[in-house]
Structure 1
Amino acid sequence: MQNPSQTPSDDSGSLTFTVQQRLFFVVLVATMGALAYGYDTGIISGALPYMTLPASQGGLGLTPFTEGLVTSSLTFGSAIGAFLSGYVSDRFGRRITLRSLALLFVAGALGTTVAPNIEIMVVMRFILGIAVGGGSSTVPVFIAEIAGPKRRAPLVSRNELMIVSGQLLAYIVSASMSLLLHEPQMWRYMLALAMVPGVLLFIGTFFVPASPHWMVAEGRFSEALRILRKLRENPREIKKEMAEMRENAREARQGPAARELLKEKWVVRLLLMGCGMGIVLQFTGVNAFMYYTPIILKSTGLGTSASIAATIGNGVVSVLATFAGIKAISHFGRRPMLMTGLSVVIIMQLALGAVLVFMPQNLTQSLLALACILVFLFFMQMCISPVYWLLMAELFPMKVRGVLTGSAVAFQWICNAAVAFAFPPLLSLVGNNAFFIFAGINVASLVFVLLVLPETRGKSLEQIETHMRERFGEKTEDAASAA
C-alpha cells in the first residue's frame, strides 16, 4: 500500500513532496495574498510624506483630508472585496478566487504607480483594496480547510506572519529609498513593488490543490479524498476527517438552504460576534500606528527620514511577535491570548498618551513614544491579530463559511477605514489625547471578549460548527421560552 505522505503529484500540478513540504508550499502560495496585503498597507506610511509635497516637487499636494482619503480608500475597497469574495469563494472555490484576486493586485498596484492626480490615486487604491480585502477573507479560510485540525492554528497564523512580513518589507523599502534616492517621485517606485506578490500568487495558484472541504460540500468526494491523501500523514486521520466532512455535507444538504441558513438566529449571532471581533481588532488603533507612525514621531521633533526609518522597528517587532504568537497559539486558548493582549494594549495607549501630552518635545520624548508603540505592537501582533484571523477561519458553518467570513472581515475593513480616515482629523482636533480615547474603547473590547467569545481551541471545524449551533441555538430557544 502506498504511503500517503509519498503520493505522486495530483491534478493541480504539484510536484512529489512529503506532506509537510506540500502543506508548506500550499500555505506559502496562499499567503502571497497576505504578503501583498501587508506591503500595500505598510508602504503608504513611507509614501505619504512625499505624496503630501506639492505637485511641482513630485507629490500630489495632499491635505489632511485627502491624506486620510487616499489612505482609507484602500480599506473601503477592502470591505467591498472581503464581502464579494465570500460569495465568489463559496460559489467557485477558494483557489479560483485567489487567482482572480491576484490579477486585481497587479492591476491596482500598477494603477497607483502611474496615478497622475489624487482622484485617480483614490480610485486605484480602492481597486487595490478589493484585492487586499478579498485575500484577507479567503486566505485564512483556504489554509484552515487545507491544514486539518492538528495544524490549523499554526498554519493559519502564518497568514498574519506574512502580513507583518509584507509590512516590514514595505518599511525597509520606503526607508531605503528615502535615504538613498533623492528623486521627487520615489513614492511611485515604492508602490510599484506591490505587483510582485500579486504575480507570485497568480502563478502559484496553478500548483496548489483545491480545498477538500469545499470539494465535499460540492459533492466531489473522490477528488476531496485524493487531495486529503496528499495533505495528511495518517490514513486513520484521513478516514476520520473525510467521514466528518461527509456527515457535515449530508446535514447541510438536509438542512435549510444557504439563504435560509443565513436567517437562522444562531448564524446571525455568529456573524454579529465576528463583526464584534472586527471592532476589537481595529479599534485597538493598530493601523493608526501602522499608517501614521512617521507623522506621530514627527510631532515629537524627529526628522522625516528618521521617522520613516523608525517604522522599520514597527515591522521587526511585528514579525518577531507573530513568530511568538504562532508558538503561543498552539499552547494557549484564544480567549486568554486576546485578554492578555488587550490588557497590555490599554496600558501602552495610556502610556503613549501621557508621554506625548505631558513630556516636553525632545529626543527622550521621541524614544519613549517609539518604545510605547513597539511594546503595543508586540502584544498586538502576538496575542490579538493572529487570534482574530484564526477565529475568522473557524467560527462559521461550512455551507456559508465564505459568505460569513467575507461579511465579518468586510466589517473589520470598514472599522479599519474609519480609523484610518478619522485619525488625522482626530489628531488635529484633540491632539495626542486621541490615545486616551483608544484606551477607553479597548476597555470595552476586553469586556466583550470576556463575556461573549467562546473557546475553539482543540476542535475540528465540524466540531466547532456543532458546538456553535448547540450553544447559540439553545440560548435562542431559552430566550424564546422566557419571552
Structure 2
Amino acid sequence: MPPGSPRRQSTSTASTNFELPHVGTGRPVHRLGVIATVATFGGLLFGYDTGVVNGALEPLSEDFGLSALSEGLVVASLMVGAAFGAVFGGRVADAWGRRKTILLLAGVFIIGTLGCVLAPGAAFLIGARFVLGIAVGGASATVPVYLGEIAPSEKRGSYVTRNEVMIVGGQLAAFIINAAIFNFFGHVDSIWRWMLLVALAPAIALLVGMIFQPESPRWLISQGRTEEALAVLKQVRSPERAEAEIDEVTHLAAEDAKEATGGLSDLGTRWVLRLVLIGAGLGFFQQLTGINSVMYYGTQLLTSAGLDSGVAIIGNIANGVFSLAGITLGMYLLNKLPRRVMFLTGYGLIAVFHTLIALTAVIIPPGPAQAWTVLAFLVLFVFSMQGTVGPLTWLMLSEIFPMKIRSFAMGICVFVLWIMNAIVAQFFPPLIASMGMTATFGMFAGIAVIAFIFLALMLPETKGKDLAEFEREFKAKYGRR
C-alpha cells in the first residue's frame, strides 16, 4: 500500500479503524481558518448580546421604571429564548444543514437587535430579547457542531474552542463599550440603545460571510451527498486526507443508518441515553458555577459591595479581561491535558474561589476593601472557569454524540444549559438580597463539589480521538448493558 494511504484494521466489534494521513499545510489550513473565523461571529454575538445587559441595565431601568422583578425578566428573557433556539436550531440544522441554519440565525440576530434598539417599552423589549435569544441559542448549538464536523480530529479542540474565545471576546467588548459609552455619554437620553445597536455590525458580518462558506462535510455525507462532501474536504484537507475521511465517515454513516438513529426514539438506546445525560449534566453544572451571575450582574455586585457606579462598570472590565485570558490558556492546555483532568481541576478551583468570596463577605465589612477583595476572587474564579470548564463544556458537547443524532442531542443539552442560565439570571439578584453573598456563593461552591463527583464518575475521555473512533469505543463499552 503506498505511503499516506489510509489503512484499515479489523476490530472485535466489526468496526473499522482508520489511520488518517496528515491534514495538509498552506491553502487548506488557511481556508479552514477563514471558515472558523466567519462561523464564530455567531459566538461573538452570543457574547456581546449576553454581556451588554451588564452595563445597559441601569440606564434602561431608569428609562422604563423597571422593578427588580422586571429587570430580571429583561435579562432572563434572552436566555429563555436561547433555550428554545438551541432545541429548534438543532433540529433545523439536522434537516437543512449547518450552513443554512447559521445563515437563518444571522437574520434573526439582525431582527432581534433592531427590535431591542427600537423597543418603545419594557414589554416590547422583553419580547425582542426573547427573539434575539432564539438566535443566541441556535448559534450556541449549531456553530460548535459545524466547527467540530469541518475541523480535522487532531485540531478539533482548538477550532471548536475558537467559538468560546469569540464568546468571551464578545462579552469583554460589551463591557468595554458599555464603560466607554456610560462614562463619556451617560448624560444622553436612552444611551442604552446605542450599547445594544453595536451588535448589528457582527450580525451583518455573519450573514454576509456565511454566504461564501461551505456546508459541513459530515452532514452532506449523512444526506448521501458524498461527492459534495469530498469537494468540501478538499478545500480544507490534503487530497489524501480528504479521500481517507470520506471513506471513514461514509462507513460510520452507513452504520448509523442501519440503526435508524436521529430522534427521541434513540433515548431508548442505553448508550445514547447515557451520552445525553452526560451532556445535560455538563450544561446543568456549567451554569450553576455562577459564571453568568458575574457576567450579567458583575457591575451590580461591585456597586452593592461599596463601589461607585462609574468605578464599578470600569472595574467589571477585569472580569472580561480575565475571562479572555482564561480561555486563551485553556486553548493551550486543551492540546496538552486530558479533558477529564481539566474538568476536575476546574471544578476544584471553582469551589475554592467561591468559598473565598463567601468568606470575604463575612470577614471584611461592606465598603471599598470588601468590593476590591471580592473583585480579586471573582476574576480568579472567572479565569479558572474560562480556562477549563467554559471551553471544555462546548467542546465535549460537540464531540460525544453520534453523527446522525448530534444536533438533536446537542439541542437537548444546550436547552438544559440555557434554562439553567435563565434561572440564574432571574433569581440571582433576589438570592443575593435575601441570602446575602456568603450563603449564595457558598451554595455555588457546594454545587461545584457535586459537579466534581458527577464528572469523576460519568465523564468519558475524548482527547486525541476521532469522532468516529470515540463513538465506536463508547458504543462497545455501554451499548450492550
Shorter-chain TM-score bucket reads over 0.9
In 2: Cα distance, 1:471 partner to 1:115 partner: 53
Determine the structure 1 residue equivalent to 2:234: 229
CA distance in 2 between counterparts of 1:258 and 1:135 reads 20
Tell whether 2:389 aligns with 1:380.
Answer: no
| Whole-angstrom CA distance in 1 between matches of 2:268 and 2:217 | 27
Q: 1:157·1:326 contact (CA, 8 Å) conserved in 2?
A: yes
- Residue 89 of structure 1 is matched in structure 2 by 93
SS of the counterpart of 2:289?
coil
**Does the 8 Å CA contact 1:46/1:308 hold for their aligned counterparts?**
yes
Return the offset for 1:431: 1.1
What residue number does 2:357 align with? 352
> What is the aligned-residue identity percentage?
40
**Structural mapping, 1:288-437, within 5 Å:** 288-432=293-437, 433-437=439-443
Work out whether residues 78 and 413 of structure 1, in 8 Å CA contact, stay in contact via their aligned partners in 2: yes
Cα distance in 2 for residues equivalent to 1:81 and 1:455: 29
Q: Is residue 2:43 matched to residue 1:38?
A: no
Match of 1:446 in 2: 452
Which digits, 9 at most, give the CA deviation of each residue in 1:247-271, with x for residues without a partner? 0111122222434434322212211
Aligned to 2:285: 280
CA contact (8 A) 2:306 2:370 kept: no
Counterpart in 2 of 1:481? Answer: none
Q: 1:369-428 CA deviation, whole Å, 9 max, x = no partner?
A: 100000000010010111001011001111111111111111100111111111011111
Is the contact made by 1:168 and 1:312 (CA closer than 8 Å) also made in structure 2? yes
Give the Cα–Cα distance (whole angstroms) in 1 for the partners of residues 123 and 330 of structure 2.
39
- Give the structure 1 partner of residue 156 of structure 2: 152
Aligned partner of 1:11 in structure 2 is none
Residue in 2 that maps onto 1:115: 119
Paired residues for 1:161-200 under 5 Å = 161-181=165-185, 182-200=187-205
> Aligned-pair distance for 1:451?
0.8
1:99 equivalent in alignment to 2:108: no
The Cα shift of 1:277 comes to 0.5
| Counterpart AA for 2:473 | H
> Structure 2: which 5+ residue stretches go unaligned?
1-25
How far apart, CA to CA, are the structure 1 residues paired with 2:471 and 2:100?
25
In 2, Cα distance between equivalents of 1:51 and 1:100: 29
2:29 to 20, 23, 28: 20
State the alpha-carbon separation in 2 of the partners of residues 130 and 472 from structure 1.
34
The farther-off stretch of 350-359 and 411-420 is: 350-359
How far did 1:237 drift?
2.4
Aligned ranges for residues 236-275 of structure 1 at < 5 Å?
236-259=240-263, 260-275=265-280
Letter in 2 for 1:153: G
* Alpha-carbon distance in structure 1 between the residues aligned to 2:54 and 2:133: 16
8 A Cα contact 2:79 2:133, kept in partner? yes
Q: Hey, what's the Cα distance between the residues in 1 that align with 2:348 and 2:261?
A: 41
Q: Distance in 2 between matches of 1:386 and 1:324?
A: 11
Q: Tell me how large the CA RMSD over aligned residues is.
A: 1.1
- The 8 Å contact of residues 355 and 445 in structure 2, kept in 1 or not, is answered as yes
Alignment correspondent of 1:51: 60
Aligned to 1:6: none
Alignment-derived partner of residue 473 in structure 1: 479
Distance in 2 between the 1:77 and 1:253 partners? 32
CA distance in 1, matches of 2:200, 2:363: 43
The Cα of 1:472 is off from its aligned counterpart by 2.2
Q: Structure 2 CA distance, aligned partners of 1:175 and 1:90?
A: 40
The alpha carbon displacement at 1:361 in A equals 2.0
Cα pair distance change 1:67/1:90, threshold 3 Å: same
- 1:56 maps to which residue? none
Distance in 2 (CA, whole Å) between partners of 1:358 and 1:434 is 16
Q: Which amino acid aligns with 1:265?
A: R
Aligned counterparts of 2:110 and 2:268: Cα–Cα separation in 1: 37
Amino acid at match of 2:477: R
Which of the residues 60, 64, 74 maps onto 1:60? 64
Give the letter for the 1:466 counterpart: R
Letter of the structure 2 residue corresponding to residue 25 of structure 1: V
8 Å contact from structure 2 (residues 146, 216) kept in 1: yes
| 2: CA distance, partners of 1:422 / 1:327 | 35
Q: Which moved more, 1:307-316 or 1:126-135?
A: 307-316
The letter of the residue matching 1:161 is V
Q: How far, CA to CA, are the matches of 1:252 and 1:225 in structure 2?
A: 19
CA-to-aligned-CA distance 1:157-210 (integer Å, 9 cap, x gap): 101000000001000110000110021311110011111111111101111111
Aligned to 1:456: 462
CA distance in 2 between partners of 1:203 and 1:468 (Å): 39
Code of the residue aligned with 1:282 in structure 2: it is: Q
What is the CA distance between 1:52 and its match in structure 2?
2.0
Q: How many residues align?
A: 453
Look up the equivalent residue of 1:177 and give its one-letter code. I
Deviation, structure 1 residue 468: 2.2
Q: Does 1:212 align with 2:221?
A: no
CA contact (8 A) 2:262 2:408 kept: no
**Secondary structure at the residue paired with 1:160?**
helix
Contact 2:261 2:405 in 1 (8 A): no
Q: Distance in 1 between matches of 2:229 and 2:349?
A: 43
In 1, distance between residues paired with 2:409 and 2:305? 43
Letter in 2 for 1:245: V
Question: 1:49, 1:304 within 8 Å by CA — same for their partners in 2?
Answer: no
**Aligned equivalents of 2:216 and 2:242: distance in 1?**
14
1:354 shift after superposition: 1.2
Amino acid at match of 1:31: T
Q: TM-score, normalised by structure 1?
A: 0.92
Contact 1:293-1:311 within 8 A present in 2 as well: yes
